[in-house]
Amino acid sequence: MGWKEYYKIDQSQFRDMYSNAQSWGELAPYKVTLQGTDYYGQGVVSSNATAWKQSPKIQHYPGYKTRIKIKYILWVDAGATGKADIGIVFYKNGDTSKDPQGNDVHGARHTVSVAPSVSTGELHEFVVEQDSGKIVWYVDGQKIDETTLEQPLQTFTIAIMIEDVSGGNIGIVVYEVVAEYYDWIEDLVSQMMNAMNIMVWVMMIVLMVTLVVKAFRGKR
């Protein structure tokens, strides 16, 4: 009710890409096994620092309230430390949409300052909520930051960068993306229908009480 899913890419598509050695934009295919479960996705895993690498452009609904949910794995080799970033880049009229400070990529940085003794993968979720050009983003339910972007926001990409690394590989692999828009008309209609249903039940209850009261008075 209200939220409508308009884009989704998940394990089935990422598995096919992995089998075909097919990249997703500038991101590379990976299979990560965690506790016996295979995760197929696209991302950047490297023993060297990298520039930002981006997914293909994904449609965005300008003028709508939207929500983008990105599930990903932070991968760290045994003995490795570093910084891995994940972000989102919106586009308007073919150019990146910037905030008042001129930034066009917004997201979160994972800093690994203590090297793990065994290779480790962590599951995370990056969520971006957008309304009238204002974006608020979260990681695992915790608010990271917010800002306002130039409009209209017509498309977006997912961006990954290895900012710093030593002692092995570190990286981020995206394994599911869901984009939704908010249909306020459907939500309004649903609320009206719910209100009408409540009113009908209230009227029935009032009528029953009135009938009961009249019945009791008739017996006196």
Average pLDDT of span 122-138: 98
What amino acid occupies position 200?
A: V
Q: Is the predicted pLDDT of residue 5 greater than 80, yes or no?
A: yes
Q: Which residues, including other chains, have CB under 8 Å from residue 165's CB and lie 6 or more apart?
A: 46, 47, 48, 49, 80, 81, 82, 83, 84
Q: What is the pLDDT of residues 82-127, one digit of tens each?
A: 999 999 999 999 999 999 999 999 999 999 999 999 999 999 999 9
Which pLDDT value is given to residue 198?
55
1-10, 83-92, 180-189 — most confident range: 83-92
pTM of the model: 0.84
What Rg do the C-alpha atoms of the chain give, in angstroms?
Answer: 25
Gap between the Cα atoms of 188 and 181, Å rounded: 15
Gap between the Cα atoms of 61 and 84, Å rounded: 29
CATH assignment of 3-182, among 2.60.120, 2.30.30, 3.30.160, 3.40.50:
2.60.120
User: What would the two tokens of residue 104 be?
Assistant: 């066009």
Q: Is the predicted pLDDT of residue 160 greater than 70, yes or no?
A: yes
Q: Is the predicted pLDDT of residue 190 greater than 50, yes or no?
A: no
Gap between the Cα atoms of 153 and 68, Å rounded: 13
Question: CA 143, 149, 151, 156: dihedral to nearest 10 degrees?
Answer: -60
Tokens 């939207």, residue?
Answer: 66
Coil/strand/helix, residue 135 = strand
- Structural domain boundaries of the chain? 3-182, 184-220
Binned at pLDDT 50, 70 and 90, residue 217 comes out as very low
Q: Is the predicted pLDDT of residue 199 greater than 60, yes or no?
A: no
